[in-house]
A = this chain, B = another copy of it.
Amino acid sequence: MSTNDTTDPIEAVRAKLEDEIPDDLVVSRVAYEGPELVIYTETPREFAERDGLIRRLASTLRKRITVRPASGTQLNPAEAKPKILDLIPEEAGITNLQFYPATGEVLIEAEKPGLVIGRRASTLREITQEVGWTPDVLRTPPMESSTVDNVRNFLMQERDDRRDFLERVGQRIHREQTGETDWVRVTTLGCCREVGRASFVLSTPETRVLIDCGDKPGAEGEVPYLQVPEANPIADLDAVVLTHAHLDHSALLPLLFKYGYDGPVYTTEPTRDLMGLLQLDYLDVAAKEGRTPPYESEMVREELKHTITLDYGDVTDIAPDIKLTFHNAGHILGSAVAHFHIGDGFHNVVFSGDIHYDDTRLFNGASNDFPRVESLVMESTYGRRDDYQTDQADSERKLIELIQETYDRDGKVVIPAFAVGRSQELMLVLEEAMREGKLPTMPIYLDGMIREATAIHTAYPEFLRDGLRDRILHEDQNPFLAEQFQQVDGGQEMREEVAGGEPCIILSTSGMVTGGPIMSWLELLGSDEENQLIFVGYQAQGTLGRRIQSGRREIPFSDRGGRSEQLTLRFDVESVSGFSGHADRNGLENFVGTMNPRPEEIICVHGDEASTDQLSSGLYQKYDVRTYAPRNLETFRFD
């Protein structure tokens, strides 16, 4: 059957499908929902019986494929529910079971989703064969997370609206391409010769994609240059891609919806939840500091409603001429290196996002294995010639030593940390040290959103390192549940109590001392020489953290009444560098050096002027590739 004269793309696909599938399978409707091709069938049971058919179709059509029962072909929920429960082993720990007649899906939330899925998805197929519904499986987080709950509930409630949205996006992605893809451009809207306000536009004659949209810590007014012509009209962007949840990449993403954007946000599942958490906190902090944030929480909900999550390694059409694949970036939970395949073999661009090249306790090191890559836009946070971090084992020893010394003199240790990433890494280090007797067991107080962020980690163990994942999945070994971890949930009163009490460790946000509970801890503990402040993460220029790290001891402060006063820090200030979520200079070089094939050109961004300059010239000298350290508002042409 020839399909050449069919102009509607979906009809062409439908015709092709009918060529490929056996006659006894009845396809009632075919539709794109976002990047996926959804096949509605009158014979869901027969479809489920054909092991491998869907995989074969996906490879022939080069699409992600989902099969759903046409309505009316399923058992009614009252009959289906006991049958489903029968098929799933009890140890799976089902916590939620919900039917969605509009899509023919049944949502199954379980403590052990692997047992719901079965070996090679055999249990899922059995469920469909038995009841006609398509199962959609989620993990119940081992630690309760209000974020995960809220996001999931919200998305369930919006399920019908989302289907309309996904069909609209699907049609747009699979539209007929109007011309040839004969150029690729990247425009820098932020984070060039600076750390903060990460944002780029990737464009072709057919398509425009925005990558990240962050704020700049310590310089709230400096937002990405969204007004440049290359990004406009915002409403007409084809896609937004978020590499990870940190605010310097995500804070201003909801603003796009205020500007009329109505398209998809592609990111990983954990990043979706984390960004929601951090953005709502961003609004909260702004309100507390008397600033008017550029958008309202309603826009965060809009953004969640428009988010399409992808797993690492999924090759996904996001436009007629662009395929996106996420790879592990090793930086924080869900963080991704974004690989764009443009045109049909025309060009490949990789945005590193933030990366950690070596393995850490939490994550495998950043992936740098791509089928092809000609252009690389990479972070340069620690790009200076001398930006070498100590080995993590040495850093851990040093950290433990510092804590031991403070403990010995009856002092308390305060560690400013990002809620997401470094806090969990430190928790693992401290839990192990105490478990192995390298440190006396003492309370570790978590202030700010650290506990909540930790709970989100436990909801997505697939994104963590193997050993850690397994421990989390066995409740009695879950290191994050160790009893020395105590949430500061009693506000200022509890802080004062802790400050007046026994030796302890405090992990508190914000990580760059730009606000949040860390400010109270400086006030409560900073004037006592027995205590200690330890920096474990990058402190951006312009932040109070950077100023303290550089030796400043007199810091401005507003007291309860809002009057500003001066606080003199007398406690010891130390920095331990090995815990950064970022690759050091060595790691950045290795990320490029072991990349195969090697890119032809590298754009060094996300670092101050010296870092991007020195990394750029270093990579050029070492690997003989074209390198650049651009400014904001520049546009590069690739191919």
- Residue ranges of A at the interface with B (Cβ–Cβ < 8 Å): 183, 185, 187, 203, 205, 227-230, 232, 630-637
Distance of A543 Cα from B228 Cα, bound (Å) = 38
Distance of A66 Cα from B636 Cα, bound (Å) = 45
Partner of A635, one of B205, B227, B633: B633
Which residues on the B side are within 8 Å of A232 (C-beta)? 229
CB nearest neighbor in B for A208: B229
Q: Is the CB of B229 within 8 A of A633?
A: no
8 A-B pairs with least C-beta separation = A635-B635, A229-B229, A633-B637, A631-B637, A634-B637, A229-B230, A183-B633, A634-B635
Distance of A232 Cα from B633 Cα, bound (Å) = 17
Distance of A635 Cα from B187 Cα, bound (Å) = 8
Distance of A631 Cα from B633 Cα, bound (Å) = 17
Which residues on the B side are within 8 Å of A637 (C-beta)? 630-634
Which residues on the B side are within 8 Å of A635 (C-beta)? 187, 230, 633-635
In addition to A229-B232, A634-B637, 4 A-B residue pairs with Cβ atoms within 8 Å of each other are: A205-B227, A230-B635, A632-B637, A633-B635
Tell me how far the C-beta of A179 lies from the nearest C-beta in chain B, rounded to whole angstroms: 10
Tell me how far the C-beta of A223 lies from the nearest C-beta in chain B, rounded to whole angstroms: 14
12 contacts between A and B (CB under 8 A): A185-B634, A187-B635, A228-B229, A229-B232, A230-B230, A230-B635, A631-B637, A633-B637, A634-B634, A634-B636, A634-B637, A635-B635
Distance of A203 Cα from B229 Cα, bound (Å) = 10
Distance of A162 Cα from B333 Cα, bound (Å) = 64
Distance of A230 Cα from B225 Cα, bound (Å) = 14
CB nearest neighbor in B for A205: B227
Q: Is the CB of A633 within 8 A of B230?
A: no
CB nearest neighbor in B for A638: B631
Distance of A634 Cα from B185 Cα, bound (Å) = 8
Tell me how far the C-beta of A546 lies from the nearest C-beta in chain B, rounded to whole angstroms: 24
Distance of A635 Cα from B185 Cα, bound (Å) = 10
Which residues on the B side are within 8 Å of A229 (C-beta)? 203, 228-230, 232
Which residues on the B side are within 8 Å of A227 (C-beta)? 205
CB nearest neighbor in B for A639: B631
Distance of A637 Cα from B637 Cα, bound (Å) = 14
Distance of A292 Cα from B227 Cα, bound (Å) = 37
Max chain B C-beta neighbours (<10 A), residue from A183, A230, A635: A635
Tell me how far the C-beta of A347 lies from the nearest C-beta in chain B, rounded to whole angstroms: 13
Which residues on the B side are within 8 Å of A203 (C-beta)? 229
Distance of A268 Cα from B228 Cα, bound (Å) = 32
Which residues on the B side are within 8 Å of A228 (C-beta)? 229
Distance of A227 Cα from B185 Cα, bound (Å) = 13
Tell me how far the C-beta of A590 lies from the nearest C-beta in chain B, rounded to whole angstroms: 29
Distance of A637 Cα from B633 Cα, bound (Å) = 6
Distance of A571 Cα from B89 Cα, bound (Å) = 94
Q: Is the CB of A185 within 8 A of B636?
A: no
Which residues on the B side are within 8 Å of A185 (C-beta)? 633-634
CB nearest neighbor in B for A634: B637
CB nearest neighbor in B for A633: B637
Tell me how far the C-beta of A628 lies from the nearest C-beta in chain B, rounded to whole angstroms: 10
Which residues on the B side are within 8 Å of A230 (C-beta)? 229-230, 635
Tell me how far the C-beta of A313 lies from the nearest C-beta in chain B, rounded to whole angstroms: 32
Distance of A93 Cα from B369 Cα, bound (Å) = 81
Tell me how far the C-beta of A621 lies from the nearest C-beta in chain B, rounded to whole angstroms: 16
Max chain B C-beta neighbours (<10 A), residue from A229, A230, A634: A229
Distance of A205 Cα from B637 Cα, bound (Å) = 22
Distance of A631 Cα from B636 Cα, bound (Å) = 9
Tell me how far the C-beta of A579 lies from the nearest C-beta in chain B, rounded to whole angstroms: 35
Distance of A203 Cα from B633 Cα, bound (Å) = 11
CB nearest neighbor in B for A184: B633
Distance of A588 Cα from B183 Cα, bound (Å) = 31
Distance of A324 Cα from B205 Cα, bound (Å) = 33
Distance of A230 Cα from B232 Cα, bound (Å) = 10
Distance of A38 Cα from B223 Cα, bound (Å) = 43
Tell me how far the C-beta of A66 lies from the nearest C-beta in chain B, rounded to whole angstroms: 36
CB nearest neighbor in B for A632: B637
Distance of A636 Cα from B632 Cα, bound (Å) = 10
CB nearest neighbor in B for A225: B183
Max chain B C-beta neighbours (<10 A), residue from A230, A630, A637: A637
Distance of A229 Cα from B232 Cα, bound (Å) = 8
Which residues on the B side are within 8 Å of A633 (C-beta)? 183, 185, 635, 637
Distance of A634 Cα from B203 Cα, bound (Å) = 12
Max chain B C-beta neighbours (<10 A), residue from A187, A631, A632, A633: A633
